[in-house]
A = this chain, B = another copy of it.
Amino acid sequence: MRWRARVWVTLRAGVLDPQGAATRSALVSLGFTGVQTVRAGKFLELELVAASREEADRQVADMCRRLLANPVTEDFRYELEGCQEG
């Protein structure tokens, strides 16, 4: 069966975020002076084939731990849903 996973990878609290800081600075320069903080993260959409929801869940958690997120500096979370066979 085919599954769609939505994965959020975000920097842990306390980890410096130069991309977020640069984005905030650019927004302030554009006149958005009310912007206090920006934290930059990743959002990934995956489609995968797996026999069951449990199997898909296990695989996506494993992908996050092994490749998609840096275990030292980043947290991840994901949502899983079944999708139409295409």
Chain A interface residues toward B at CB < 8 A: 2, 8-10, 20, 23, 26-27, 30, 32, 34-50, 59, 62-63, 66-68
Contact = CB atoms under 8 A, between A and B. Distances in A.
Contact of A27 (B2, B37, B40, B67): B67
Contacts of A42: 40-43
Q: How many copies of the chain does the oligomer comprise?
A: 2
**Interface residues of A, dominant DSSP:** strand
A10 B46 CA distance: 13
A85 to B, nearest CB: 11
Nearest to A37: B47
A67 B45 CA distance: 22
A60 to B, nearest CB: 9
Given A27-B63, A27-B67, A67-B26, A44 B34 contact: no
Among A39, A45, A59, A68: residue with most chain B CB under 10 A: A45
